[in-house]
Copies of this chain bind each other. A is one copy, B any other.
Amino acid sequence: MVSPLVSKLRDILGKRKVLDSDAELLCYSFDATPLLYHKPDVVTLVDSEEDIRLVLEFAAQEGLPVTTRGSGTGLSGGSVPVNGGILIVTTSMNRVIEIDAHDMSATVEPGVITANLHALVEAQGLFYPPDPGSMKISTIGGNVAENAGGLRGLKYGVTGDYVLSLDTYFIDGSKIRYGTKCLKDVAGYNLTKFLIGTEGTIGIFSRIVLKLIPKPKTKTTFLALYDDIVDAARTVSAIISRKVIPSTLELMDSVTINCVEDHVNIGLPRDVEALLLIETDGHPEVVREEAEIIREACTANRVRSLRIAANARESEELFTARRNALSALARVKPTTILEDITVPRPVIPEMMVTIRQAAEQYGITIGTFGHAGDGNLHPTCLTDERDKDEIHRVEQAYEVIFEKAIALGGTISGEHGTGISKAKYLPKMVGSKALEVMKRIKHAFDPENRLNPGKIFLPTER
């Protein structure tokens, strides 16, 4: 029997775009965040701006919550409809509206897959740098909503640094466009910059203009192996303080290395304590000189061995290994809890020590990898959600880790967002006044708290 809600929505959107079977609702009840499931009341597969508007107007009439979702690769629960209601899935809005090779911009719908955009623009000698770990599945809309980072963030910045203009629907069904193809625009408040990273709680993006840059001419990839993870962490700072900004500067600890090697089997050494994956890109002469400096910085910090990828295939293999770190870790135990702290580079060694100590103290397994070049680390706990006692200890360990990250002048999330998983740490991170300001902004846009409710802010005590 079809509920009145579903039947009304089908009248509006057509049958094909409205899903309500138990199996379908289950498929849309989670994203990549562990321990978090909630079914929507109904799923709508929008494929036009008109569809978005119709769903929002219907939701307004019925007073229903609305949550937006792309591919569901988020790691803080941003697209999980924890209050039920209507889920808007934007993956069918996947048209590349324009690639302007002449003026270097791309105009896309929100459902375009990040890696597909990479391929399209690179074929024209252009480059869209943001490369979140999930780029082969993630959508540009989700990347903008979360202000996703990636391996190239250190040198090239994050998603938000490339967004020139957004078309955004608000909860009442109205739409604005802010921004142009121009690199500079200071007309009124910059709503585009504000909307980036609001995690689906303020608006729904329907059209996105991205800045492109020329594709770097060449690159060199290094694999640096360390007997002591603190030496690896020191190398990170040593490279930057020599005024070299690598395009990638990634760290993996021994737990991660072994899981990755189990998974992809490319011959990573199992007996090291850490590795750095380092890439410099650009003009061949620049790459050559930077490679020399990187070699010197590694040597000065007791690297065990330093290998240059012999060719593009070998380099790609190393990057694939790094991108598979999360899925490799996830194979080991039933539950993988990935965190996303970021600290200033000079204190990475101190942070690494704290992570190791917290794992020991609470008797849990944590593998750490991440974008060490920008201080963004992903301590990842391998656990089992059915083991309530262990999950409790995991929470205690992360509490220690978060406190330390904040104390070191860092943040609780570098690129995954606050969502649900980090909402309880947000007050400590930003302070009660900033939190109140954020709530005031949210209220100004969505007074009934119907757009992606339950995210960023803890449910208010009543």
Contact = CB atoms under 8 A, between A and B. Distances in A.
B283 A184 contact: no
Interface in A340-390: 342-346, 371, 374-376
Contacts of A442: 189
Contacts of A237: 102-103
This protein's copies in its complex: 2
A377 to B, nearest CB: 11
Contacts of A170: 437
A183 B441 CA distance: 24
A420 interface: no
Interface in A424-439: 426, 429-431, 433-435, 437-438
A119 interface: no
A445 B126 CA distance: 41
Interface stretch (A87-95, A147-155, A261-269, A309-317): A147-155
A44 interface: no
Contacts of A412: 187
A415 interface: yes
Contacts of A245: 213-214
Contacts of A196: 190, 193
A23 interface: no
Nearest to A418: B188
A146 B345 contact: no
Contacts of A125: 243
Contacts of A289: 283
A147 B191 contact: no
A240 B104 contact: yes
A415 B146 CA distance: 27
Given A174-B433, A182-B343, A214 B187 contact: no
Given A102-B237, A104-B240, A285-B285, A410 B188 contact: no
Given A170-B437, A184-B414, A214-B243, 17 more contacts: A158-B183, A158-B184, A175-B433, A176-B431, A180-B410, A181-B409, A182-B375, A182-B410, A184-B371, A185-B411, A186-B411, A187-B430, A188-B434, A188-B456, A189-B441, A193-B194, A282-B286
